Amino acid sequence: MSSPRPVDVARLLLGITALAAPDALLTIAGSEAGTGPQRVVRILGARYVAQSVAGLALHRPWVPKLDAAVDLVHAASMLGLALWFPEHRRAGLLSAAAAAGFSLSDLAGRAR
């Protein structure tokens, strides 16, 4: 059995944090906590948990490529959010940066 990819562990930790403490992430991102933003953060957290669990369970060569694509789409959507909703700009940019970092990590891991 191979060791877990660090990017899957990082996604899992961020996902659990988003599910358990969305207000903490919103505070770090400089966004107002409220029912709507909390819901969005929790949905994102659930997606990160599901993605990381799949990555930890499936040891297939196509998984990192698919993970990278999912995170690139997420990063692009967060850049759109930052552009269209200035009150959530910092949160969108931080989320885009995290997703881009995960994507780059997936692609760098594939290259090895």
| Angstrom distance (rounded) from CA 64 to CA 43 | 22
Q: What is the pLDDT of residue 2?
A: 75
Q: What pTM was estimated for this model as a whole?
A: 0.88
Q: What is the pLDDT of residue 1?
A: 58
What distance lies between CA 5 and its chain's CA centroid? 15
pLDDT (average), residues 70-82: 95
- Average pLDDT over the chain reads 91
- Note the pLDDT tens digit of each residue in 26-61: 998 888 778 888 999 999 999 999 999 999 998 888
Residue 94 clears pLDDT 60, i.e. is over it: yes
Q: What is the pLDDT of residue 87?
A: 87
- Note the pLDDT tens digit of each residue in 14-23: 999 999 999 9
